[in-house]
């Protein structure tokens, strides 16, 4: 008759070993190596690093392998590892004008110092399935040119010479300036809970970690009129930058390594005011690796979220800081949505009890007499008192 719900422990073990088997797939085929994923699935690795907020291509590739290619599961693995790592210090702000550039485009000037470099991009490819790849017929590739670091000024700085655009660090936020050695360290939502209203540093961190799909949809909504902000892709650049730290006892910065980043500077309209000449405003996006779509989305949403600071009406979802920041993290959302899979017997039973009672009362009202057999009896607060009396008695006897 009744099968007890025992055996959770054994069931979990069995599920996990079945999972391992499924992940491995057909054993007559060679196992996928972490190196292969790192080298040949780079865009997946980059997304996992970005939203996992840990720059480590090898671990990101491992996470992807372990997660059977499920990006969000891989991000979860990387985040859960990252959270156990000690935090020694904050780096000096990364200088993206000093970059070994792989790709650099601007949609606002035809040509400009530093040039337009298309780099390795899917843009302008015709999305036709390449059946040579299916036949394992990879064409020989040319060796890419050596990356060299050159001083390459940012496009928005050209506009800034004329004052046509706001400076990247508005006065109100200059306390985060890189110049001072005793700069306030930037906010970190992995250490401090998110607090509203949030400053831009915190917002940018949340967006950088935020789900690409969610941000993309929000960014798209601004383009369709829900918080329109007239964007131009001022500059997108991708390449390697040096990460520097300045330990207190050393007194000067030292390079600890290079990371690959993609940066997007968006130029947006601004009408100006009585006291301020009209000028363009900015939206900013920065990610690990090559997640260009994400940087564009991030820059659009960043700009939309600046509505309060710029005195614009807040009317659209993308402009609503609490809405965007509370829902952009895909571990928050996937965790909470998937927790619906956990047992809810007790809550459901509570609802059943109430629903049966309401239906019984409904039927009684309708027919004027009781017809339905009742599963439920109303319990008055007398019983509650009785319970707490019992409890007191039990306590007394224990004492």
Kindly list the residues in this chain that would bind another protein in the complex (CB under 8 A).
1-2, 5-9, 11-12, 59, 76, 79-86, 190-197, 322, 326, 331-332, 334-339, 342-347, 349-354, 357-358, 361, 374-381, 383-384, 387-388, 390-391, 394-395, 398
CA distances from 34 to 41, 45, 55, 330 (A): 10, 11, 16, 24
The nearest distance, CB 288 to another protein, in angstroms, is: 17
- CA-nearest of 275, 278, 303 to 219 is 303
Kindly state the smallest distance separating residue 196's Cβ from another protein, in Å. 5
Tell me the C-alpha distance between 361 and 353, whole Å. Answer: 12
Nearer to another protein, 122 or 345 (CB): 345
Q: 214 CB contacts (<8 Å, ≥6 apart)?
A: 327, 328, 330, 333
Query: Cβ closer to another protein: 22 or 397?
Result: 397
**Least distance in Å: CB of 343 to another protein?**
5
Q: Are 238 and 260 in contact (CB under 8 A)?
A: yes
* C-alpha–C-alpha distance, residues 162 and 313, integer Å: 28
Our CB check for another protein shows the closer of 192 and 275 to be 192
CB of residue 338 to another protein, shortest distance in Å: 6
| Angstrom distance (rounded) from CA 134 to CA 111 | 39
Nearer to another protein, 86 or 144 (CB): 86
Cα separation, 123 vs 142, in Å, equals 19
Note whether 74 and 52 are within 8 A (CB). yes
Task: Give least dist CB 351 to another protein, A.
Answer: 5
| Smallest gap from residue 59 Cβ to another protein (A) | 8
Backbone φ and ψ for 243, nearest 5 degrees, come out as -105, 125
């Amino acid at each position: 008759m009744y099968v007890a719900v025992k055996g959770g422990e054994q069931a979990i073990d069995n599920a996990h070993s079945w999972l391992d088997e499924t992940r491995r797939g057909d054993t007559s085929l060679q196992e996928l190596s972490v190196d292969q994923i790192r080298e040949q699935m780079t865009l997946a690795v980059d997304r996992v690093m970005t939203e996992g907020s840990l720059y480590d291509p090898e671990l990101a590739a491992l996470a992807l392998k372990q997660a059977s290619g499920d990006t969000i599961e891989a991000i979860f693995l990387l985040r859960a590892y990252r959270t156990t790592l000690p935090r020694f210090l904050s780096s000096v702000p990364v200088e993206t004008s000093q970059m070994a550039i792989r790709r650099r485009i601007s949609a606002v000037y035809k040509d400009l110092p530093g040039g337009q470099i298309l780099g390795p991009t899917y843009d302008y490819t015709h999305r036709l399935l390449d059946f040579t790849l299916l036949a394992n017929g990879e064409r020989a590739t040319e060796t890419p040119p050596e990356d060299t670091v050159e001083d390459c000024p940012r496009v928005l700085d050209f506009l800034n010479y004329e004052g046509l655009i706001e400076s990247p660090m508005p006065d109100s936020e200059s306390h985060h300036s890189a110049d001072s050695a005793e700069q306030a360290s930037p906010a970190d939502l992995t250490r401090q809970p998110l607090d509203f209203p949030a400053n831009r540093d915190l917002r940018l961190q949340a967006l950088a970690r935020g789900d690409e799909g969610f941000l993309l949809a929000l960014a798209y909504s601004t383009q369709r009129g829900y918080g329109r902000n007239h964007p131009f892709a001022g500059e997108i650049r991708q390449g390697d930058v040096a990460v520097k730290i300045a330990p207190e006892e050393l007194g000067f910065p030292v390079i600890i390594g290079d990371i690959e980043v993609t940066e997007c500077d968006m130029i947006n309209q601004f009408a100006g005011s009585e006291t301020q000449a009209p000028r363009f405003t900015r939206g900013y996006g920065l990610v690990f690796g090559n997640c260009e779509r994400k940087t564009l989305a991030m820059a659009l949403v960043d700009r939309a979220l600046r509505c309060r600071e710029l005195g614009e009406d807040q009317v659209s979802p993308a402009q609503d800081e609490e809405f965007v920041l509370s829902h952009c993290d895909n571990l928050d959302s996937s965790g909470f949505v998937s927790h619906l899979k956990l047992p809810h017997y007790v809550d459901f039973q509570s609802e059943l009890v109430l629903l049966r009672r309401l239906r019984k009362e409904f039927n009684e009202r309708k027919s004027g007499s009781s017809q339905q057999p009742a599963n439920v009896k109303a319990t008055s607060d007398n019983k509650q008192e009785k319970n707490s009396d019992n409890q007191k008695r039990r306590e007394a006897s224990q004492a």
